[in-house]
Amino acid sequence: MEALAVRLSQLDAEAGGAIRVVMFYDTLMRRRVDLPALARASAGLAECVVGIRLHDTGRVIRFGPDGRPASGPPAPASITSPLVLDEEEIGAVWLERPGPPGLPGSLDDLLLDRLGIAVMAVVERYGPARTTMADPALVELAISPDSDEAARARALRLLGFAAGQPVHVLAVRSHLPLDKVGGAICPARPVKAAPLADVGVILATTVNPARVPEGVRAGIGATESLDRSWQQARTALRFTTPRRPVVHHDDLGALALLAEISRDTARGNADVSAIIRVAETPEDLETLDAYCATGSLRRAADLLHLHHSSVARRIEQLGRTLGIDLTEPTGLTRASLALTAWRLLDA
């Protein structure tokens, strides 16, 4: 490689310089240096301040070309490169070179690229890396009912979970990136996420339902066996609504049996068919949903920001449409079950 660099430098100074940069970082990686040593060596090579930042710890490392930690506030970066590991941005590296960035013939892009590779190698070596996104194949192996326990244990170990550590499974639908959702739900403990088929999967050692971001739907399984927990999480996700965006399977009780009913059977039920007709008018559907959720005209009126007499008139009309006396406990139960079964048709 040294001989190649010499020959290239005689033919093309920039090509020879590029080879020398690659050799420089190959040598550092073979010596298994740590992050401060990487920053120090890079600053000497670049002849300017070099910075490294890791998002999960907030750690920032800056060294100047004199080999000493850079003092004072950081200067504006002349060039920055993100650190992307397992499709998640875990940090950044940059140069604080005085003068205009992107000088002709500059090897800054290559230097930062090789520095980024070296930094991620160090993070993985001394990790495990605290990334949230994981290999979907590993996550699927951990939760699949077709996996034996040995394969499941190995997958969890490779994902960074200690043996015997309880792991919760969540099925989520989200407008936010999965790593953001996972980090919010379990900010200080191991958590992994991956897209799987039509839903996102999150594996977490602890789950705080109150920390699920707004607008995210999440179903939570039990912690007994991961394959069973995954099925429970998917079922719970089907029961989520705008009013109840997070559902734990344990809280469903006998309602979970509704998920076992076939779509044809549900559509053929007279109460569910009536709900389908009601759903054609969003205002009626919202009124019925609020009333079923609260079981009270006054509390439903509070949710809808209406006078309770207005809600009473709507409920009376809805009762005639459904053919159910909604003021009776039995009628309210029928309407609630039919409304839930209707939601499961499209969940």
What tens digit of pLDDT does each residue of 267-303 get?
999 999 999 999 999 999 999 999 999 999 999 999 8
Per-range mean pLDDT, top range of 98-102, 126-130, 296-300: 296-300
Domains in the chain, number: 3
Q: How far apart are CA 47 and CA 248, in angstroms?
A: 56
Rama region for 334: left / alpha / beta (φ>0; ψ in -120 to 50; rest): alpha
Domain range spanning residue 216? 136-259
Last residue of a domain, one of 75, 100, 126: 126
Please report, as a single letter, which amino acid is at residue 297: L
8 A C-beta contact, residue 32 and residue 38: no
Same-domain check for residues 216 and 156: yes
Predicted structure pTM score: 0.66
Per DSSP bridges, beta strands 49-54 and 59-63 are antiparallel
How sure is the predictor about 179, in pLDDT bands with cuts at 50, 70 and 90?
confident
For the record, the structure tokens of 221 come out as 């399984």
Same-domain check for residues 66 and 143: no
* 131 assigned to some structural domain: no
* 164 assigned to some structural domain: yes
Same-domain check for residues 178 and 292: no
- pLDDT reported for residue 68: 93
Q: How far apart are CA 170 and CA 184, in angstroms?
A: 13
Same-domain check for residues 122 and 6: yes
How sure is the predictor about 86, in pLDDT bands with cuts at 50, 70 and 90?
low
Last residue of a domain, one of 103, 126, 149: 126
Same-domain check for residues 85 and 98: yes
* 207 assigned to some structural domain: yes
For residue 64, which of 46, 82, 78 has the smallest C-alpha distance? 46
The mean pLDDT of 100-127, rounded to a whole number, is 77
- pLDDT reported for residue 130: 59
* 240 assigned to some structural domain: yes
- pLDDT reported for residue 135: 86
* 339 assigned to some structural domain: yes
The mean pLDDT of 19-32, rounded to a whole number, is 88
* 243 assigned to some structural domain: yes
What CATH number is associated with residue 108? Answer: 3.30.450.40
How sure is the predictor about 165, in pLDDT bands with cuts at 50, 70 and 90?
confident
Instruction: Quote the mean pLDDT of the chain.
Output: 87
The residue to which tokens 């992107």 are assigned:
102
